[in-house]
Amino acid sequence: MRIVDIQTGTISLPLTHPFKTALRTVERLEDIVVKVIAEDGSVGYGEAPPTAVITGDTVGSILCAVHDFIKPAILGMDLDDLEAVMEKLDACLVHNSTPKAAVDMALYDLWGKAQGKPLYRLLGGARERFETDLTISVNPTEEMVRDALEAVERGFGILKIKVGKEGMADVARMAAIRAAVGPGVKLRVDANQGWSAQESVSIIRAMEDNGLDIELVEQPVKAADFDGLKAVTQAVDTPILADEAVFSPQDAARLIDEHAADLINIKLMKTGGIYQALKICDLAEKAGVECMIGCMLESKLSVSAAAHLCAARGIITRADLDGPSLCSVDPYSGGPVFDGPSIAMTDLPGIGVGDVPCGNWQ
């Protein structure tokens, strides 16, 4: 089945609360959507969030990559040889992982639809439902405590707390949140590169000494500070999760070889899509390194692609797929069912999300 057209459009969705991390503040989700059309008229959908502070991808760079590089490279190729299409997609541009991810998931969506099966089954079928955490944005402590309690009330048993802006003050912040939610709630900490290696060790040890029972600490140091990440991992007992430090399968291989972190956060927008993410899963599985599946500020469209990967592969033991829960509306039909912390797969073929509400396809 040949690829005959690739189009892009935009979606804009209000968030329930402004999304704040050590790197940025966002009030509204504004993403590019991608539609790949096959010769029989069937369509596959993907989504590309412009997350310049993490991936370097902007609205302009995403549109240019899709229309001027990816489309000419893969138009006319046959989806029956999916591997050849994916290798071409990867090779037609260096970097630009976000537009590649959007096209990759649209291709997998089409490929699954052509076989009449849900994608997660075609890629391994490890499970049919799983639980996601919810992100609590970095704010004054009282506000974070309130947001954490509200999340627990909504049924979330795992919270990912954004920190990284105030050094040792983050220990008191986490202590206040732990005291408020009690011992039954899992707390993850994401510093988004906000600490130095030395600070990380002091802060994490203080959290350990205070019995805050932190499940893991995500990306304490700068993405490029590989030695720092490794030093922190080896100095503390709390598991360290690499996020911004791992984009590609090559990054994952080095991290695993040198035990520079205990866990890997896979995001389709960093890997350039499902095809490369599966390679990271293979490496991680071989080494027994558990993974988390994460997302950027994304709507249900691309988060559904990530959900299929999570449901497909057992080595992904943790999910941070709260994008749809952060949006105040769900404009799509179909796809996995996101119900508070629970994500349940369905039998719809491909990724299964339809009715992408975009009036400006071009």
Q: Which stretch binds Mg ion (CB under 5 A): 8-16, 68-76, 124-132, 235-243?
A: 235-243
Say which of 113, 160, 165, 267 is annotated catalytic.
267
Instruction: Report in angstroms how near the CB of residue 219 gets to Mg ion at its nearest.
Output: 5
- Span from 74-82, 98-106, 240-248, 251-259 in contact with Mg ion (CB under 5 A): 240-248
CA angle (298, 299, 300) in 5-degree steps: 125
Task: Please list every residue from 42 through 81 that binds Mg ion, using CB under 5 A.
Answer: none
Please, which residue, 246 or 305, has the CB nearer to Mg ion? 246
Site mask for Mg ion (CB under 5 A), range 144-183, x = bound: ----------------------------------------
User: Interface residues for Mg ion in 180-219 (CB under 5 A)?
Assistant: 190, 218
Report residue 135 as tokens: 């992100």
Q: Residue 26 has which token pair?
A: 């966002």
267 is catalytic: yes
Q: Rounded to an integer, what distance in angstroms lies between the CA atom of residue 301 and that of residue 51?
A: 16
Please report, for residues 71, 104, 180, 271, the alpha-carbon distance to residue 327 in angstroms, rounded to integers and kept in the order given: 30, 24, 25, 24
Pick between residue 23 and residue 64 the one whose CB is nearest to Mg ion: 23
Which residue of the set 20, 100, 162, 165 is catalytic?
A: 162
Residue 265 is encoded by which pair of tokens? 């956060």
* Least gap, CB of 205 to Mg ion (angstroms): 21
Stretch (H or E) spanning 291: strand 291-294
Q: Taking CA 63 as the corner, what is the angle to CA 60 and CA 64, rounded to the nearest 5 degrees?
A: 80
Q: Compute, in degrees rounded to 10, the torsion defined by CA atoms 210, 211, 216, 220.
A: 0
Q: Is 298 in the site for Mg ion (CB under 5 A)?
A: no
Establish whether 162 is a catalytic residue.
Answer: yes
Among 31, 47, 109, 243, binds Mg ion (CB under 5 A): 243
Please, which residues have CB within 8 angstroms of residue 15's CB and are 6 or more apart in sequence? 26, 27, 28, 29, 297, 326, 327, 328
Residues in contact with 135: Cβ distance below 8 Å, sequence separation at least 6, in sequence order: 19, 159, 160, 162, 190, 320, 322, 326
Give the x-and-dash track for 334-353 against Mg ion (CB under 5 A): --------------------
Q: How far is the CB of 162 from Mg ion (least distance, A)?
A: 8
Residues known to be catalytic:
162, 267
Q: Which positions lie near Mg ion, rule CB under 5 A? A: 190, 218, 243
